[in-house]
Amino acid sequence: MSYVEMPGANVPIRMWADPKTVEGAAMQQLRNVATLPWIKGLAVMPDVHYGKGATVGSVIAMQGAVCPAAVGVDIGCGMSAVRTSLTAADLPDDLSRLRSKIEQAIPVGRGMHEDPVGPGDFHGVPTGGWDDFWGRFDGVADAVKFREERAVKQMGTLGSGNHFVEVCTSSDGAVWLMLHSGSRNIGKELADHHIGVARELPHNQGLVDRDLAVFIADTPQMAAYRNDLFWAQEYAKYNRALMMALLKDVVRKEFKKAAPTFEQEISCHHNYVAEERYDGMDLLVTRKGAIRAGSGDYGIIPGSMGTGSYIVKGLGNEASFNSASHGAGRKMSRNAAKKRFSTQDLEEQTRGVECRKDSGVVDEIPGAYKPIEKVIERQTDLVEVVAKLKQVVCVKG
């Protein structure tokens, strides 16, 4: 499947999504992005849907500028996954104890660790750069420095919304561990602060949508944002690494007799900025709800909590700025899902999955998301499927 090119003010809109299925508000956001003076390219992923300022599921390449709302408020949000030596036959019939142990080890929602965790607490987690990372917290925006204690204790925690920890089985019977989270509250605080700063800058006053306010190169505001952005992306990466370490510890203890081992972890951001070069230009590429899919890059494209997920390998398609979708993508808002579906619907759609089935997660029901298989089918020129996973345990925030 290749892309459909639609006209845009300053760049064409390359769509791997079916234009007929994209809601009108999201299409207008894409047209708005294409009007930005600094834009050099816009690629739209098959899971695209309406977001704040820029759509979720868009890849925006700009020269000398970056739009903080096009990164999203959960800076560095992404996925991690690892294949284990366990097989489906090693799993007990009743998985409730395993879910309970995971929930005890990894704080969810607004929860945090009583005592901070770090790489030194776990065997095999690299400790290099950890002290330097926290040392650079002194350089982030003054407006959020009072959150330092919370940021320290939330490191290695899940959060809420669509974040999750899962135990999955692949089509060949292997057990995989997978999780989805980002930079927790500190990333949101930094994003909100900088979006507010950008909206007030003189060069943003004439934009068609003030939520598309940008920072431009060689300004103190851009320097401050880049500093905090890259720090928050690093926070998100550490956060997932420590959660995976906690998850592995649970699995080692629960399956002591099987002595599980773990292959190399796959980890990818899907709300972030990267410095990349295309057509001889140094660009700032913003992926909001999209993963990097350069040639040979491994990535993770999850479905909803009852459908399954895909491990993929990038094909290096420069038309998409080496990108692919980040998941199934919502087809209705959280409020709409709560009005349409009941807990009974949730139970039916998550049958066979050990997970919460109460009113607090109805907005995450599979029926609120696009079919993951169709999302994968629309990007066969972006990624190849390496493994298909089906969750058997799902922990939600």
DSSP secondary structure, 139-195, as one string = GS-GGGGGGHHHHHHHTT---STT-EEEEEEETTSEEEEEEEE-SHHHHHHHHHHHH
Classify burial at 284, counting beta carbons within 10 Å of its beta carbon; exposed 0-12, middle 13-18, buried 19 or more: buried
Concatenate the DSSP letters of all residues of 315-341 into one string.
---GGGTSEEE-SS-BSS-HHHHHHH-
Q: What is the largest CA-CA distance in the chain?
A: 65
316 pLDDT above the threshold of 90 = yes
Query: 185 among the known binding-site residues?
Result: no
Query: 204 among the known binding-site residues?
Result: no
More confident residue, 123 or 30: 30
The pLDDT, as a whole number, for residue 48 is: 96
The pLDDT, as a whole number, for residue 25 is: 95
What's the average model confidence in pLDDT over 72-87? Answer: 97
4-331+369-396 topology per CATH: tRNA-splicing ligase RtcB (3.90.1860)
Classify burial at 74, counting beta carbons within 10 Å of its beta carbon; exposed 0-12, middle 13-18, buried 19 or more: buried
* Total-model pTM: 0.96
Using pLDDT thresholds of 50, 70 and 90, give the confidence band for residue 306. confident
Query: 396 among the known binding-site residues?
Result: yes
Nearest CA among 88, 392, 124, 130 for reference residue 264: 124
Rounded to whole angstroms, the Cα distance separating 189 from 82 reads 30
The pLDDT, as a whole number, for residue 397 is: 79
**Cβ pair 266, 386 in contact under 8 A:** no
Tokens at 248, concatenated: 């592995």
The pLDDT, as a whole number, for residue 2 is: 83
The pLDDT, as a whole number, for residue 50 is: 94
Using pLDDT thresholds of 50, 70 and 90, give the confidence band for residue 124. confident
266 pLDDT above the threshold of 70 = yes
49 pLDDT above the threshold of 90 = yes
3-state helix, strand, coil in the chain (%, to 5): 35, 25, 35
Query: 375 among the known binding-site residues?
Result: no
The pLDDT, as a whole number, for residue 168 is: 98
What's the average model confidence in pLDDT over 234-241? Answer: 98
Rounded to whole angstroms, the Cα distance separating 87 from 104 reads 24
Active site residues: 326
Query: 196 among the known binding-site residues?
Result: no
Mean pLDDT score of the chain? 96
The pLDDT, as a whole number, for residue 16 is: 98
Query: 327 among the known binding-site residues?
Result: yes
Chain position carrying tokens 């030596």? 85
What's the average model confidence in pLDDT over 22-30? Answer: 96
**Cβ pair 386, 298 in contact under 8 A:** yes
Query: 180 among the known binding-site residues?
Result: yes
Nearest CA among 127, 156, 154, 151 for reference residue 137: 151
Classify burial at 128, counting beta carbons within 10 Å of its beta carbon; exposed 0-12, middle 13-18, buried 19 or more: exposed
Query: 165 among the known binding-site residues?
Result: yes
171 pLDDT above the threshold of 70 = yes
Using pLDDT thresholds of 50, 70 and 90, give the confidence band for residue 15. very high
Nearest CA among 271, 322, 285 for reference residue 52: 271
Using pLDDT thresholds of 50, 70 and 90, give the confidence band for residue 1. low
